[in-house]
């Protein structure tokens, strides 16, 4: 049975939310102020028709939008879209009682996502390659993607051929494609165990197509050229499926904020350092201690630092900061610090930081909720938030990155 609903606001995942006597109703692809007829099931619309459209509704950039689950809000006008991203950060901070000013959202351009994870599946003699439909395991085969870099989009047909060659199981698997300065780095996960004949065919195909590297379930199958990226002026050979900021524009914006905030610091810590996104930039001016739990990523950082003699000394330590955060007494040697944790945030590390006298802290987060929790811990310990900048790294998705900058005045002796 269809109901007529008026959309009140956008929800956290980009659905339009209508307030009804029985609770909130979620309508995919509806916008605030719109009147829709919707068939609801357990509070979510399974079908809907827009009767009165919002003036902020625009034509989506991609023909697959609405079927492909990769994007949620291509149909929202640009300024309203960026305001929604900022509001997610503002609301998270306010929930924790943090009344700090939040900058306007820094936009990232279309066609800039250099790291994309496709879903693939072999069906008889054919193969599907694309993205899952929203809340579904159904694969939407894509012929374009206005989010991904032109280099990845241009390789779609070659990636389909590769997916067909590497599939050793009829089950769906993932293909993570990263565009590096030396070519595409491709990591398959869950494609099945390759037989020797199939392996040789896959190697020949990867070399023929000019892919830089192909790995499967962590094993390098073939590496024609070592995949490399630049962190400022420092070339880094990234590991297979290693963490990399999704877009170069976002990485450079975050790095500029962090580097400016920590400028003048003599000894800096980079926690959850990955392969050196921040550490190798900061080492241009300061001694750096880099802690990371992933040994392979840390090795890439360490090798890059050793091969670039103009950098200040970089000390790299393999350390699980969730189980063994730096203690307050260990933090005493640093006057600046940056941390960029996974979505879970860095609660235990922040408890130690709150008791420290590190003068300046920069935190990078992909989760406004855990960012707000961590900032609340630090402010309770005497830190002052000086700036919060949302960054739209994940274009047209519900996700938003943010950089927060903090300071603490040293205690008088």
Q: pTM to 2 decimals?
A: 0.94
CATH of the domain at 25: 2.40.50.140
| Closest CA relative to residue 184, chosen from 146, 243, 233, 228 | 228
Same domain, 368 and 296: yes
pLDDT digits (tens, 9 = 90+) for 38-48: 999 989 998 99
Mean pLDDT to the nearest integer, 108-123: 96
Mean pLDDT to the nearest integer, 112-122: 96
CATH of the domain at 222: 2.40.50.1070
Domain of 96 in residue numbering reads as: 83-109+244-407
Same domain, 21 and 94: no
Tokens 């979510």 -> residue:
44
Mean pLDDT to the nearest integer, 11-27: 94
| Closest CA relative to residue 153, chosen from 203, 180, 113 | 113
CA distance linking residue 166 with residue 200, whole number of Å: 10
CA distance linking residue 228 with residue 343, whole number of Å: 26
Say what the pLDDT of residue 125 is: 85
State the chain's mean pLDDT as an integer. Answer: 96
Mean pLDDT to the nearest integer, 22-48: 94
301 in a structural domain: yes
Greater model confidence, 309 or 261: 261
Structural domain total, the chain = 3
DSSP string, 256-310: HHHHHHTTT-SEEEEES-TTTTTHHHHTTTSEEEEEES-HHHHHHHHHHHHT-TT
CA distance linking residue 81 with residue 14, whole number of Å: 10
Q: Is residue 184 within 8 Å of 155, Cβ to Cβ?
A: yes
Coil, strand, or helix at residue 71? coil
193 in a structural domain: yes
Same domain, 149 and 216: yes
**Residue 412 clears pLDDT 60, i.e. is over it:** no
Say what the pLDDT of residue 409 is: 82
Same domain, 255 and 382: yes
List binding-site positions for S-adenosyl-L-methionine: 245, 272, 292, 340
234 in a structural domain: no
412 in a structural domain: no
Same domain, 269 and 399: yes
Buried b (16+ CB within 10 A) or exposed e, 184-207: bbbbbebbbebeeeebeebbebbe
**Residue 15 clears pLDDT 70, i.e. is over it:** yes
pLDDT digits (tens, 9 = 90+) for 360-394: 999 999 999 999 999 999 999 999 999 999 999 99
Same domain, 254 and 369: yes
pLDDT digits (tens, 9 = 90+) for 43-91: 999 899 999 999 999 999 999 999 999 999 999 999 999 999 999 999 9
CATH of the domain at 303: 3.40.50.150
66 in a structural domain: no
pLDDT digits (tens, 9 = 90+) for 86-110: 999 999 999 999 999 999 999 999 9
237 in a structural domain: no
201 in a structural domain: yes
CA distance linking residue 231 with residue 244, whole number of Å: 11
Same domain, 250 and 216: no
| Closest CA relative to residue 173, chosen from 186, 182, 185, 184 | 186
Dmax over Cα atoms in the chain, in whole Å?
Answer: 75
Say what the pLDDT of residue 140 is: 96
> Helix 368-380 to helix 78-95 angle, to the nearest 10 degrees?
40
Asked about 68 being catalytic, the answer comes back as: no
Say what the pLDDT of residue 295 is: 96
CA atoms lying within 13 Å on the CB side of residue 400: 31
pLDDT digits (tens, 9 = 90+) for 267-306: 999 999 999 999 999 999 999 999 999 999 999 999 999 9
Tell me 2's DSSP state: E
Same domain, 275 and 384: yes
Which residue, of 228, 254, 278, is where some domain finishes?
A: 228
Same domain, 284 and 259: yes
Find the range with the poorest average confidence among 231-235, 244-248, 262-266, 408-412: 408-412
Same domain, 311 and 208: no
Residues contacting 99, CB < 8 A, separation 6+:
93
Same domain, 292 and 390: yes
List binding-site positions: 245, 272, 292, 340
297 in a structural domain: yes
Given the residues 68, 265, 350, 366, select the one marked as catalytic. 366
User: What is the pLDDT confidence band of residue 411, given thresholds at 50, 70 and 90?
Assistant: low
Say what the pLDDT of residue 413 is: 47
Bridge partners (DSSP) of residue 24 are 19
Same domain, 260 and 394: yes
**Residue 259 clears pLDDT 80, i.e. is over it:** yes
DSSP string, 293-304: S-HHHHHHHHHH
């Amino acid at each position: 049975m269809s109901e007529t609903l008026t959309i009140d606001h956008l929800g956290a995942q980009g659905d339009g939310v209508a307030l009804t006597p029985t609770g909130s109703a979620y309508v995919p692809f509806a916008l605030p102020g719109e009147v829709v007829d919707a068939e609801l099931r357990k509070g979510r619309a399974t079908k809907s028709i827009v009767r009165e459209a919002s003036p902020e509704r625009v034509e989506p950039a991609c023909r697959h939008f609405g079927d492909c689950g990769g994007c949620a809000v291509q149909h929202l006008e640009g300024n309203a879209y960026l305001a929604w991203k900022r509001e997610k950060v503002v609301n998270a901070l306010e929930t924790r009682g943090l009344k700090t000013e939040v900058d306007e959202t820094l936009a990232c351009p279309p066609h800039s996502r250099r790291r994309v994870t496709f879903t693939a599946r072999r069906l008889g003699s054919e193969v599907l390659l694309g993205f899952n439909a929203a809340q579904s395991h159904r694969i939407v085969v894509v012929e374009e993607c206005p989010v991904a870099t032109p280099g990845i989009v241009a390789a779609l047909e070659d990636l389909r051929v590769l997916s067909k060659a590497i599939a050793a199981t009829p089950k769906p698997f993932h293909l993570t494609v990263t565009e590096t300065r030396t070519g595409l780095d491709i990591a398959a996960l869950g494609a099945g165990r390759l037989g020797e004949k199939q392996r040789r065919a896959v190697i020949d195909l990867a070399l023929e197509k000019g892919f830089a590297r192909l790995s499967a379930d962590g094993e390098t199958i073939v590496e024609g050229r070592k995949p490399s990226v630049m962190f400022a002026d420092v070339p880094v050979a990234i590991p297979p499926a290693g963490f990399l900021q999704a877009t170069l524009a976002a990485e450079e914006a975050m790095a500029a904020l962090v580097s400016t905030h920590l400028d003048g610091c003599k000894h800096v810590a980079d926690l959850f350092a990955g392969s050196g996104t921040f550490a190798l930039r900061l080492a241009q001016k300061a001694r750096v201690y880099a802690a990371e739990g992933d040994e392979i990523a840390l090795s890439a950082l360490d090798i890059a630092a050793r091969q670039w003699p103009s950098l200040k000394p970089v000390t790299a330590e393999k350390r699980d900061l969730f189980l063994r955060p730096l203690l307050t007494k260990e933090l005493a040697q640093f006057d600046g610090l940056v941390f960029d944790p996974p979505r879970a945030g860095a609660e235990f590390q922040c408890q130690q930081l709150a008791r420290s006298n590190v003068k300046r802290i920069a935190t990078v987060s992909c989760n406004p909720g855990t960012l707000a929790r961590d900032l609340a811990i630090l402010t309770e310990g005497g830190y002052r938030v000086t700036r919060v900048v949302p960054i739209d790294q994940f274009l047209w998705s519900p996700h938003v990155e943010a950089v927060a900058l903090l300071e603490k005045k040293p205690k008088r002796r």
